[in-house]
Amino acid sequence: MAKILGMGNALVDIMIKLEDDQIIHNFELLKGGMKLVDEKYIQRLMDAVKHLPIEHAPGGSAANTMNGVANLGMDTGFIGKVANDQFGKIMEGDMKQNGIKPFLLKGVAPTGLAVALVSPDSERTFAVNLGCAIELSADDISSEMFAGYEFFHIEGYLVQNHELLRKAVALAKENNVKVSLDLASFDVVQDNLEFLKEIIADYVDIVFANEDEAKAFTNMDPELALHEISKSSEVSIVKIGEKGSLIKQGEQIHTIGVIEAKSIDTTGAGDLYAAGFLFGMAKHLPLEKCGQIGSLLAGKVIEVLGAKMSEATWKIIRGKVDEIISA
């Protein structure tokens, strides 16, 4: 059976449902974006929202994707860095519980935290303190980590570390592993555009982007962006929110709709779409079915707060995935 390896910032998500967007403005955050902040900023933010409901869950984009793949019944691994602290132990325990092989190296700074501020319209805005996640370096990864995996999925938040990413994709290719990259955030794309274009052209087989990220990468609207990205990758996917997603491989294009869902929080929607899509690719399913499974997972995760779903929900999802496969 195929196996999928992920690499990303190992973060614990702190989910906060806002009554309005005032706190976003007060803390000079860009709604829908992601801002890297220090520990003092996180502490001030937590003080400002302490009257609101708060939930904790192990997260990080690529870790969420691996969690999704694992819950579909496929073997996964994850490379990241945590501290020997409460949140690091939560992260490692959660991965083992969900059947993800953890390649979790130990860092010096505390385990990273991602505060997700969820607006009433379900849009989420992130304030992230990477902690020791940012300590993950090229020296930490080795060829042995990639042995036996068919796909290697990277979150775009790692692109600031050019040396790490270059070594990772090179090791993946040495081990005949297909490389998948989620562009992660439009501001990350803007800040690392030339490097991203180089890496995608030279190493990446599958590119995931939402509408904003695709625009930042190509300066084009979704359909034209899809064609532009596909010039550099084997498979390109542009997610267009409520309109679904566009997929292109060669001259083949698919438009995938969304499932009916009551959106509470869009956190993890892109991560879980990638999980469903990669699961389908690892099963050698047609691209249309890969997209349908991605859409199913994305639609289900937006009905809960955070990127984690209950076993009861996963049981329903697995049943529907079987229906998609056999249809």
**Cα–Cα dist 256/276, whole Å:** 13
CATH number of the domain enclosing 103: 3.40.1190.20
Say which residues have a Cβ less than 8 Å from residue 141's Cβ, sequence separation at least 6: 7, 79, 164, 167, 168, 171
82 CB neighbour count, 10 Å cutoff: 28
52 lies in a domain? no
Please write the tens of the pLDDT for every residue from 50-64.
Answer: 999 888 888 889 999
40 lies in a domain? no
Looking at residue 242, its amino acid is E
193 lies in a domain? yes
Looking at residue 303, its amino acid is E
Please give the pLDDT value at position 38.
Answer: 93
Mean pLDDT of 33-59: 90
- Token pair for 6: 């992920």
> Is the predicted pLDDT of residue 193 greater than 80, yes or no?
yes
Name 239's bridge partners.
210, 245
- Token pair for 191: 């800040």
49 lies in a domain? no
- Token pair for 102: 């953890």
Please write the tens of the pLDDT for every residue from 220-265.
Answer: 999 999 999 999 999 999 999 889 999 999 999 999 999 989 888 8
Single pTM value for the model: 0.90
Please give the pLDDT value at position 205.
Answer: 98
Which among 58, 132, 150 has a CA at the least distance from the CA of 95? Answer: 58
Question: In 3-state terms, what secondary structure has residue 121?
Answer: coil
Say which residues have a Cβ less than 8 Å from residue 130's Cβ, sequence separation at least 6: 9, 11, 36, 112
Q: Contact 159/165 with Cβ under 8 angstroms?
A: yes
- Token pair for 232: 């550099």
Chain-centroid distance, C-alpha 299: 15
Which structural domain, as residue segments, surrounds residue 151? 3-9+61-111+131-326
Which pLDDT band holds residue 290 (cuts at 50, 70, 90)?
Answer: very high
Q: How many domains does the chain have?
A: 1
22 lies in a domain? no
> Is the predicted pLDDT of residue 173 greater than 90, yes or no?
yes
Mean pLDDT of 27-49: 92
Please give the pLDDT value at position 160.
Answer: 85
Please write the tens of the pLDDT for every residue from 69-126.
Answer: 999 999 999 999 999 998 899 899 999 999 999 999 999 999 999 899 999 998 889 9
145 lies in a domain? yes
Question: In 3-state terms, what secondary structure has residue 145?
Answer: helix
Say which residues have a Cβ less than 8 Å from residue 133's Cβ, sequence separation at least 6: 9, 10, 11, 60, 80, 81, 82, 107, 111, 112
Chain-centroid distance, C-alpha 290: 16
51 lies in a domain? no
21 lies in a domain? no
> Is the predicted pLDDT of residue 145 greater than 90, yes or no?
yes
